[in-house]
Every structure is written in C-alpha cells, then in structure tokens.
C-alpha cells in the first residue's frame, strides 16, 4: 500500500531520471494528504534518495503539528522532510516556485535535488500512462472491446498519457476518454494537457496540422470537484459507500470517489446516452486518504454493517453476503436505476 496508486507509474520514469543524472534527493509538492507526495517519499527511499515534500495546508496546522493520519503517516515514517506552506502562500507563489525555493535551499547546503512537479505530471511522467495504454490495449481486446475509458483528473498527467496512448494504439472506432476533474476547471486541464503534448513533440500547437489533435480532440474533461479539492460532500461519500457494498471496490474521497460520483450522476441524468456502453474506470488509488475523512464516514456508517457474523467460520458470513446479492460485479443496478451500462475497473 505504501507504494501504490497512479503516481507510481510516473515515478518509475521520474526517479530513474533523478538517479541517472546523479541527484541525491527529490523535491515535490502537493496537498497535506497528497497521495503523490507519499508515493514519492517511498519511491525515493527505495532508490536511496532523500525526499523533501512541500505540503499545502492551513495556518492552524502549520502552527501546531500536521499529525500522523493517512498519507502523512507513511511520508513521515519513511523519513521525508516536510516543508509546510499555507494555502494562501501556495495560491500566491504557485507550486513550482515554492518547490524551486526548497531546491535552492538544498543546493546552498551542497545537495543536488531533483524537482518533480505536482502529481509527477511532466512530459517524462506522462510516459507512465503512455506505457499503461499499451497494457490496456491488450486487455481491452481480451474483454471484447470497450467504448469508454473514465478516470479522475487532478494534475493532468495520467489523463494526458492515457488519451494520447489510446489514440495512437486503438483502431477505429476510437475509445472515448473522459477525465473527471477534481480541482481546476476543464479549460485549465485542456490547456495543461496541450502543453504536455507539445513537450512530447506530438502536437505542434495548431489544429489540423498534426496527426495528433489537441487535448479537446483527445478527451472530454468534466467538472467533478464538487465543493472543492479534497472536500467531500455527503452525497459523494454515499456513492463511495454504495459502490463498496455492491462490488467490494474501495474508492478514495479526493479522486476516484469524486470521478465515480460524477460519472454515475451523468448516467442517471442521461441514461440513454450511456445505454449499452462498456465503460472502463481507471482506479487511481488513494485509499490512505480515507483516513482523513473519519468524522464524515463515522456519521455515514454509524450502525451500518453489510452482514452480521454468526458463530462459525468466515465462510458463513460470505455465504450470507452471496445470498443478499453482494458480489464483485461490474454493474450498479441499485445506483443507476437499471440504466445498466457495463462498468469495469482497471488499476
């Protein structure tokens, strides 16, 4: 679990580059419960590198102690150095300037740090999901085809790699790619992904002059941030609970939970548009983020249990669950009110 989630595919390339260039440490940036920062701290430790995390949080947390919840616990356990900044500082200075300030401090101390952007979403990091799209191509063929691929979008690198990779790898008809944004608005993500495509050298910035279209021609970005980044509504958590009860798949509240909630809301609002489609949902990890939502989840789960254990073995409880229709299935009849597209999960 400590090295899990979609960031690992990007870090495979980014940490390798840091090692190749002779760096002795890594600096990266994210929120106080960043999955990316936790994965980076662990990957750096595996590679024998120091790790410095610039974490965005509230003034109250900075003036006290950030705690040992979820991703923070793992980051601190593996020895990452934390540099806390307020949300106001982050908005004023921007992520890369804050990261560069830590890089400059370390260089002044004789260190040789490597700066990784938020989410590992650089052109190099994008190769993690260009590679994943090749895996997907073979798996999709074995499943008899997929019409749509859906994922959460937080920093843009995963979405960029998948939409480009699937465009290049899949025959006609193309798979439709949908990215559910959990922070910035769709225009931001389209522009950011366009920048990555240009850095990769596959798009020249002019529509109609390249074999690869702009981001707007490769995927659809949907606003799904709700009340804000990492802020969960009761409705979003309820959707996560229903998905878990129906399938056994645990989503995270910051990324995949918001994306599934947005997807299912669209399916409910326009069932005809999704009828008969075969949808692959890319689970981007982030289970440790659940621990930061304990208070909200306590209210949601209080007094609830999918089944009661009777005297006997675990098998008795499992049989009870099967009789009640609990299964690791790919459809969501109770959630979708029988609009019934086929929905598959990919990690």
- CA Rg value for the chain: 21
DSSP 8-state secondary structure symbol assigned to residue 32: T
Between vectors from CA 88 to CA 87 and to CA 93, what angle results, nearest 5°? 100
How many Cβ atoms are within 10 Å of 73's Cβ, its own excluded?
A: 15
Distance CA 346, CA 247 (A): 13
Comparing CA positions, the residue from 21, 16, 26 lying closest to residue 115 is 26
Copy the structure tokens of residue 29.
Answer: 């940036």
- Give the HSE-up count for residue 62: Cα atoms under 13 Å, Cβ half-sphere: 14
Give me the residues paired with residue 343 across strands: 279
Contact 29, 95 (CB under 8 A): yes
Contact 53, 41 (CB under 8 A): yes
Distance CA 97, CA 327 (A): 48
- Distance linking the first and last C-alpha atoms of the chain: 13
Q: What is the side-by-side strand order in the sheet with 25-31?
A: 81-86, 50-57, 25-31, 113-116
Cα dist from 307 to 139, 321, 335, whole Å: 34, 7, 20
Copy the structure tokens of residue 8.
Answer: 């690992």
Distance CA 243, CA 332 (A): 8
| Catalytic residue flag (residue 34) | yes
Active-site option among 25, 34, 214, 256:
34
Catalytic residue annotation: 34
């Amino acid at each position: 679990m400590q090295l899990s989630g979609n960031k690992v595919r990007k870090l495979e390339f980014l940490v390798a580059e840091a090692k190749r260039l002779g760096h002795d440490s890594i600096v990266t940036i994210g929120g106080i419960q960043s999955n990316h920062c936790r994965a980076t701290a662990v990957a750096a430790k595996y590679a024998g590198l120091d790790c410095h995390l610039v974490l965005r949080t509230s003034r109250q947390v900075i003036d006290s102690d950030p705690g040992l919840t979820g991703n923070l616990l793992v980051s601190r356990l593996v020895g990452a150095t934390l540099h806390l900044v307020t949300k106001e500082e982050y908005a004023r200075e921007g992520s890369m300037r804050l990261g560069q300030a830590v890089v400059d401090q370390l260089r002044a101390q004789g260190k040789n740090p490597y700066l990784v952007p938020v989410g590992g979403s650089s052109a190099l990091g994008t190769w993690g999901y260009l590679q994943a799209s090749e895996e997907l191509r073979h798996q999709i063929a074995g499943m008899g085809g997929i019409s749509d691929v859906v994922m959460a979008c937080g920093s843009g690198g995963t979405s960029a790699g998948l939409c480009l990779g699937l465009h290049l790898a899949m025959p006609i008809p193309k798979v439709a790619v949908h990215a559910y944004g959990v922070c910035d608005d769709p225009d931001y993500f389209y522009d950011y992904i366009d920048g990555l495509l240009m850095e990769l050298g596959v798009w020249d910035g002019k529509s109609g002059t390249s074999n690869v279209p702009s981001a707007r021609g490769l995927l659809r970005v949907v606003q799904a941030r709700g009340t804000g980044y990492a802020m969960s509504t009761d409705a979003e958590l309820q959707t996560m609970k229903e998905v878990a009860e129906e399938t056994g798949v645990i989503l995270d509240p910051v990324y995949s939970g918001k994306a599934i909630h947005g997807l299912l809301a669209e399916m409910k609002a326009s069932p005809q548009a999704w009828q008969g489609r075969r949808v692959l949902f890319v689970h981007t990890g982030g289970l440790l983020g659940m621990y930061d939502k304990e208070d909200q989840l306590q209210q949601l789960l209080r007094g609830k249990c999918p089944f009661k254990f009777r005297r006997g073995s675990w098998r008795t409880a499992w049989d009870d669950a099967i009789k009640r229709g609990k299964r690791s299935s790919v459809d969501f009849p109770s959630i979708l009110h029988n609009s019934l597209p086929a929905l598959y999960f990919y990690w």
